[in-house]
């Protein structure tokens, strides 16, 4: 069901009023949003955000001190004049990697890629070398004033010089020296020093030059591998011959050592026998000396006893000794009367019986 005006004039007035109110509403919304639009416009053009891994260099196009400013802006929000009066150029401050390789899948993520370095060796052969060159910007002011803004530090700085310095340094090696890691690292360090000699005045420092892989043509590679195999066979034979000589020397040393051990053992046995003989001789001599002393003492004893028997009172001693004969007799019957009668109670007659004179 639709509403219709009966009077055409009333309908026209209503439509005009509706259009006026709608236009007024749009104007009110526009003026209400205008401060926000101006704020976002100024915020987007007057403030620049420098990330934590970036440097910032201001360029003044219109105004005082026109040109590149020496002040280096660190991470954070920085105010600039809008409408192209001032511009901030940003440069990375973290490590960048330049890869020269024919195998992009092996390159570092986010690195700048170029084909492998094609280098001629000192003996005239060509070799393709995969190289990684990590570097970083140390002075963005020097970079922008000597090379330029944006990615020109790659296009006009590192890339044009990298392969030239690699050819200069690595080209000093022969074909076989590429297989010598010590010489290869030495020449890679020389290439790094040559690059730094040119890039340091421009605010760029090469951290290292890393030779990751190298390959000759298939024919040269085959010849080199065959030669290396022959050299390895020669070295193997030399090592075996040297090992045989060393084994003979070891056997000789072992035999000499065993002979010395046997000699020492025999010397030890002879020493033991000698010491045992000396011990026995010492025992016999000391025993003989002891026997001699005992016999001498017994002889001296006998001599002293004999001397004692020959002195005054010896007859009494003899009588006493003879009286000891009675100790072993249980009963003896002797005459008690007459010339030869024995009276055991008469001591003087008993002494005379044994030849002892009691008066002496």
pLDDT in tens, 175-231: 888 888 999 999 999 999 999 999 999 999 999 999 998 888 776 767 677 777 777
C-alpha torsion 257→261→262→267, nearest 10: 140
- pLDDT of 312 higher than 80: no
Which range, of 33-42, 54-63, 160-169, averages the lowest pLDDT? 33-42
CA distance 184 to 170: 8
CA distance 214 to 111: 20
- pLDDT of 237 higher than 90: no
8-state DSSP, 202: G
Max mean pLDDT among 32-46, 288-302, 324-338, 345-359 falls in: 288-302
CA distance 213 to 118: 12
Mean of the per-residue pLDDT values of the chain = 81
DSSP 61-105: SSSSS-EEEEEEE-SEEEE--TTTTEEEEEEE-S-EEEEE-S-GG
Which range, of 69-73, 153-157, 283-287, 342-346, averages the lowest pLDDT? 342-346
- At residue 88, the pLDDT reads 92
CB-based contacts of 78, cutoff 8 Å, min separation 6 = 47, 48, 49, 50, 56, 58, 88
pLDDT band at residue 109 under the 50/70/90 scheme: confident
CB–CB of 14/5 below 8 Å? yes
| Phi, psi (rounded to 5 degrees) for 52 | -60, -25
| Phi, psi (rounded to 5 degrees) for 47 | -125, 135
- pLDDT of 239 higher than 70: yes
271-300 average pLDDT score: 90
Domain boundaries for CATH 3.30.479.30 within the chain:
95-216
8-state DSSP, 138: S
Q: Is the dihedral of CA 245, 249, 251, 255 positive or negative?
A: positive
- At residue 1, the pLDDT reads 45
CB-based contacts of 62, cutoff 8 Å, min separation 6 = 81, 84, 85
CA distance 30 to 24: 10
57-80 average pLDDT score: 88
Q: Give me the residue label for tokens 């001693």.
A: 317
- At residue 236, the pLDDT reads 82
Helix/strand/coil for 3: coil
Closest CA to 161 of 108, 100, 216, 218: 100
Burial label, 183 (beta-carbon count in 10 A; 0-12, 13-18, 19+): middle
- pLDDT of 17 higher than 60: no
The CATH class of the 95-216 domain is alpha beta
| Phi, psi (rounded to 5 degrees) for 180 | -95, 110
- At residue 311, the pLDDT reads 66
CB–CB of 170/119 below 8 Å? yes
> How do beta strands 126-137 and 96-100 pair?
antiparallel
Closest CA to 123 of 52, 3, 224, 228: 224
pLDDT band at residue 235 under the 50/70/90 scheme: confident
| Helix pair 314-323, 218-309: axis angle to 10 deg | 100
Query: Residue 128: how many CB atoms within 10 A of its CB?
Result: 17
Max mean pLDDT among 55-64, 88-97, 321-330 falls in: 88-97
pLDDT cut 70: percent of the chain above it: 72
- At residue 154, the pLDDT reads 93
């Amino acid at each position: 069901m639709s509403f219709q005006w009966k009077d055409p004039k009333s309908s026209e007035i209503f439509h005009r009023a509706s259009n006026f109110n709608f236009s007024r509403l749009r104007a009110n919304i526009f003026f209400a949003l205008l401060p926000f639009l101006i704020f976002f416009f100024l915020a987007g053009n007057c403030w620049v955000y420098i990330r934590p891994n970036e440097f910032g260099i201001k360029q003044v196009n219109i105004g005082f001190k026109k040109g590149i400013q020496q002040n280096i802006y660190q991470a954070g929000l920085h105010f600039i004049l809008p409408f192209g009066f001032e511009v901030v150029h940003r440069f990375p401050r973290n490590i960048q990697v330049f890869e020269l390789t024919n195998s992009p899948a092996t390159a570092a993520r986010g690195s700048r890629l170029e084909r492998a370095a094609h280098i001629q060796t000192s003996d005239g052969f060509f070799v393709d070398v995969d190289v990684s060159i990590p570097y970083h910007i140390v002075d963005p002011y020097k970079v922008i004033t000597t090379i330029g803004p944006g990615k020109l530090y790659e296009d006009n700085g590192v890339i044009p010089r990298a392969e030239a310095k690699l050819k200069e340094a690595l080209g000093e090696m022969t074909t076989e020296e590429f297989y010598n890691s010590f010489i290869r690292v030495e020449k890679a360090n020389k290439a790094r020093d040559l690059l730094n000699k040119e890039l340091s005045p421009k605010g760029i420092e090469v951290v290292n030059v890393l030779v990751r892989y190298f390959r000759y043509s298939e024919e040269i590679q085959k010849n080199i591998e065959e030669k290396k195999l022959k050299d390895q066979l020669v070295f193997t034979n030399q090592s075996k011959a040297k090992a045989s000589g060393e084994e003979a020397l070891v056997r000789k040393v072992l035999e000499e050592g065993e002979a010395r051990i046997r000699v020492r053992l025999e010397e030890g046995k002879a020493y033991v026998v000698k010491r045992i003989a000396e011990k026995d001789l010492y025992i016999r001599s000391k025993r003989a000396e002891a026997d001699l002393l005992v016999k001498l003492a017994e002889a001296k004893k006998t001599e002293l006893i004999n001397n004692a028997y020959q002195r005054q009172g010896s007859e009494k001693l003899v009588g006493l000794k003879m009286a000891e004969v009675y100790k072993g007799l249980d009963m003896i019957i002797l005459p008690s009367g007459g010339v030869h009668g024995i009276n055991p109670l008469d001591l003087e007659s008993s002494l005379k019986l044994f030849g002892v004179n009691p008066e002496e």
